[in-house]
Amino acid sequence: MDTSDQVRDGFKNGVVVALSSAPFGILFGAIAVDNGFSLTEAALMSAIVYGGASQLVGIELFGQHVAAWVIVLSVLAVNFRHVLYSAALAPVIGRYPHAERWLAFFLLVDPQFAEAVKRGDAGKPVSFPWYIAMGSIVWCGWVINTIIGAFFGRMIGDPKALGIDVLLPVYFLGLVMGFRKRHNFLPVMLAGGIGSVAAYHIVGSPWHISVGAVLGIAVAAILPPPAIAEPEMEPDVSPLEKEAM
């Protein structure tokens, strides 16, 4: 597969993700305006922070005027999963040149990770041209959708009153179900989900996200790895027998 084909594949993947995540980006823009952000501030936050769920957490805390260190720790708790993403893709991104590597990590959001893993599982190269083509489209879509949400946010009113805030868990559920055919998916998913719900009632939000992630990893580490099929060994056949065959 040449570079143009990889860029084309990345562009297609990026457009699909940008369209599917559009309600999420619009939701963030609306919530940002509802919490006192201007359109420019909301757009800059999406362009620079580019953290999705962590942006929503930060916006909610900004609106409550809590201490800065609380906001930093809360965003860290939500974005802890990105440390795991980086570790999982290190064998791929680690081969990129230094500057490209930093850009790749900046663009490493949830759908980017999911599509990179799926592409690797399918035996296709997770090359930098593919990665940057997809990542740039998703980033642009996120910023544009934030601007749309911020512009029309005052018309929407309170997103929670309309039940629009349910888009976030639905979006992540879709990403999770994309891995349903992977080895040990069900026990790992249940461990993470149950652990996260329990932690939500015990230690509160947003720490339940990190707790659920750690429990899911622990179960994945304990469970046996997938069985590797051994290649079939041909029976020993003498040269004379081969000629007879």
* Whether residue 222 has pLDDT greater than 80: yes
Residue 192 lies in a domain: yes
The continuous run of DSSP H or E covering 55 comes out as helix 53-64
Residue 203's contacts (CB-CB under 8 Å, 6 or more residues apart) are 211
Print the domain residue range for 84. Answer: 3-165
User: Are 144 and 217 contained in the same domain?
Assistant: no
Residue 235 lies in a domain: no
Candidates 8, 5, 46; CA nearest to 143 is 46
| Nearest-angstrom CA–CA distance, 85 and 89 | 6
| Residue-wise pLDDT tens digits, 9-44 | 999 999 998 988 888 888 889 888 888 889 999 999
With cut-offs at 50, 70 and 90, classify the pLDDT of residue 63.
low
User: Are 130 and 187 contained in the same domain?
Assistant: no
Q: In the chain, pLDDT over 90 holds for what percent of residues?
A: 24
Buried b / exposed e over 39-48, threshold 16 CB at 10 Å, is beebbebbee
Does residue 97 have a cis peptide bond before it, meaning omega lies within 30 degrees of 0?
A: no
Provide mean pLDDT across the span 139-166: 78
Residue 7 lies in a domain: yes
Q: What is the pLDDT of residue 243?
A: 42
Residue 176 lies in a domain: no
Q: Number of structural domains, the chain? A: 2
Q: What is the pLDDT of residue 41?
A: 92
Provide mean pLDDT across the span 59-69: 74
- Give Dmax (Cα) for the chain: 87
User: Are 26 and 62 contained in the same domain?
Assistant: yes
Residue 106 and residue 50 in contact, taking contact as beta carbons nearer than 8 Å:
yes
**Following DSSP, what letter does each residue of 147-165 receive, concatenated?**
HHHHHHHHHH--GGGGTGG
User: Are 31 and 69 contained in the same domain?
Assistant: yes
| Residue-wise pLDDT tens digits, 87-142 | 889 889 989 998 999 999 999 998 899 899 889 888 888 999 999 999 999 999 99
Q: In the chain, pLDDT over 70 holds for what percent of residues?
A: 80
User: Are 214 and 152 contained in the same domain?
Assistant: no
To the question of pTM greater than 0.75 for the whole model, the response is no
